[in-house]
Amino acid sequence: MSKSRSSEPRGPSQRQLRVGELIRRSLSELLARGDLHEPDLSAMSITVGEVRATPDLKRATCFVLPLGGGDEETMLAALRRAKPEIRHLLARNMKLKHAPDLKFEIDRTFDRMDETRRLLSDEKVRRDVAASGDAPEEDGA
pLDDT score at 123: 75
The closest alpha carbon to 66, from 56, 75, 55, 53, belongs to 75
pLDDT score at 3: 53
Q: Is residue 75 part of a domain?
A: yes
For the chain, what is the domain count? 1
pLDDT score at 1: 47
- Domain with 38 in it: what CATH number? 3.30.300.20
pLDDT score at 6: 58
pLDDT score at 9: 61
Q: Domain range spanning residue 90?
A: 14-130
pLDDT score at 80: 94
pLDDT score at 64: 93
pLDDT score at 134: 53
Q: Is residue 74 part of a domain?
A: yes
**Residue 23, exposed/middle/buried by CB under 10 A (0-12, 13-18, 19+)?**
buried
pLDDT score at 29: 92
Q: Is residue 138 part of a domain?
A: no
pLDDT score at 41: 83
pLDDT score at 112: 59
* Cα 49 to Cα 62: distance, rounded to the nearest angstrom: 8
Q: Is residue 37 part of a domain?
A: yes
Q: Is residue 141 part of a domain?
A: no
Q: Is residue 33 part of a domain?
A: yes
Q: What is the mean pLDDT of each run of 10 residues along the chain (141 residues)?
A: 58 88 93 86 87 93 86 91 92 81 86 64 73 54 44
Q: Is residue 79 part of a domain?
A: yes
Q: Is residue 140 part of a domain?
A: no
Report the predicted TM-score, pTM, of the whole model to 2 decimal places. Answer: 0.71
